[in-house]
Every structure is written in C-alpha cells, then in structure tokens.
Amino acid sequence: MTRGILIAGSEGAVAEALAREAAKRVEPVVTAFLSSQDEEEKDRDLSARESSANNVENKGNKIVSIPWKGASSVSAQAVLLSARNILGEIDEALVVCTPWGIRRGLKEVRVAEIDHHIDGYLKSWFYLGRELTRYFSARERGTLALVLADGTSSEEGGNDIDMFKPLVAEAFRIMADKLLASSASEPFRVLAFQNNEAGNEEAFAAYVMKVIDENNRRDAGRWHRYGKGFFFGR
C-alpha cells in the first residue's frame, strides 16, 4: 500500500536521516525544512545553505523538498497543499524539532536573530500542528509523529547560557504533550519521540520509522525516548 509521508521541521542531521530512512520505504518523500539561518545570514552564506540542501536530495527524486516559512500560518497551509499535490494524500507526518541556540550575550544578539528564533521556531510548530491535526481529523485517519532531537552536552558553550534552545525545546515538548493527552479522542494516531544524544541520527531515524511501521496501538499516545540517559525501547 502506498504511503504519503511528509517530514517537516528543522533542517539538520536528524530531519535528513529521517527523510533517507522514509525513502527506503516509499517514494517520493516530501520534506519541508526550516532554515537555521535568518535572511541576513542566508545572504552571507548562500553556498553553505545550498550544500546543506543537497545532503537530503536523493537521485531519482525520491525526496522532494518544498518551501516552508515557519512564522506564517499561510505557509503552513501551503506546505500541506504542496505535499498533497505531490503525494495525493498525507498518511504520515513527522514534525521534527532540532532547536538551535545562540550562545552570546543578549547585547550581542541581532534583532533578526531574535525574530527568527521566536517567530520561526515557536510559531512554526503550532501553525503546522494545527493544520495537520485538522487535516487528519477530517480524513479520520493518519499518523502524526512529533520528533524532538535536543541532544547536547552539558558542557557545550562553557559559561555562555543558551537563551533560545531550551525555550524552543520546551515549547515543542508542551505542544507534543497536549497532542498526546488528547489523542485518545482523535481518529488519527499521535506519537512522540525524543533523542537526547547527538551523533546517533541514523539509528534514531531507523527506530522512529520502525515504531511507525509496526502500527502498534500500545505505542500511540506516549513518548518514545532514545539515547543516552533513556532506557532503549518502550
């Protein structure tokens, strides 16, 4: 049976690993990634951005990338419309949060960076979550997987406190908790995954897709935690 898979969220190793893992099962897989850079940074680092995008492109168009402007509710609606135009219907949506941080003093942070992190990385999850839950409710089926990849070392950054990364991660976690809590009354499946260890992206992606593939009713409505400090499995 053909599955329409959408992977949307933060660009980076976890989202790219999930796209590659999903592409082993079906094609095409549609991705919509938020950039870690604000517009000013993109203009200064265009070549690096193009290199990052190429990391997730597979030969034969197995993975198709579509644009997503995270701070816009209209863009969240456009993501679903574009994905449906490519896939027909969306059967599984993976929303991936890999929060980026800023380890500088507040006086050194640019206004554009504040806007990018607060508008893009907070509003984006709620806008897209709203559209996906409405879509799956209307279809009366589907799978929504919330994926939080917040793996860091406690020693990272020395004495510089990251003001943004914990904020973004906690906002995403709260949204996931709310969706999990209400999932029993929904006609679609909701799962949540957390990886607290950097460097194991391929194994984590395989684990996430394996749980989704198994379609075990006991796996729905709760967190599945993976990585150092967590017990593996369920």
CATH value at residue 34: 3.40.50.720
In this structure, are residues 164 and 117 in contact, taking their beta carbons and an 8 Å threshold? yes
Q: What is the structure's pLDDT at 139? A: 96
201 assigned to some structural domain? yes
Domain hosting residue 182, numbered range:
5-226
pLDDT digits (tens, 9 = 90+) for 150-199: 875 444 444 556 778 888 899 999 999 999 999 999 999 999 999 988 88
Assigned domain for 233 exists: no
Residue 55: inside a domain: yes
For residues 36 and 100, the answer to whether their CB atoms sit within 8 Å is: yes
Dmax (CA) for the chain in angstroms is 54
pLDDT given at position 1: 54
* pLDDT band with cut points at 50, 70 and 90 for residue 37: low
Residue 58 · residue 34 · CB < 8 Å: no
Average pLDDT estimate for 22-33: 95
Q: What is the pTM assigned to this prediction?
A: 0.85
Structure confidence by residue, pLDDT tens digits, 57-98:
444 579 999 999 888 899 999 999 999 999 999 999 999 999
User: Within a domain: residue 80?
Assistant: yes
pLDDT of 50 reads 46
Based on its alpha-carbon atoms, the radius of gyration of the chain, rounded to whole angstroms, reads 17
**How many structural domains comprise the chain?**
1
Please indicate, yes or no, if residue 146 is contained in any of the structural domains. yes
In a domain, 81, yes or no: yes
Asked if the model's pLDDT at residue 43 lies above 50, the reply is no
State residue 36's pLDDT score: 64
First to last CA, the chain: 27
Q: Does 231 reside within a domain?
A: no
Selected residue with higher pLDDT from 51 and 188: 188
- pLDDT of res. 230: 54
Per-residue pLDDT band at 102 (split at 50, 70, 90): confident
pLDDT digits (tens, 9 = 90+) for 106-156: 888 888 888 877 877 788 999 999 999 999 999 999 999 999 998 754 444
Is 98 within the bounds of a domain? yes
Tell me the one-letter amino acid at 168. V
Q: Does the pLDDT value for residue 210 go beyond 50?
A: yes
Is 227's pLDDT higher than 70? yes
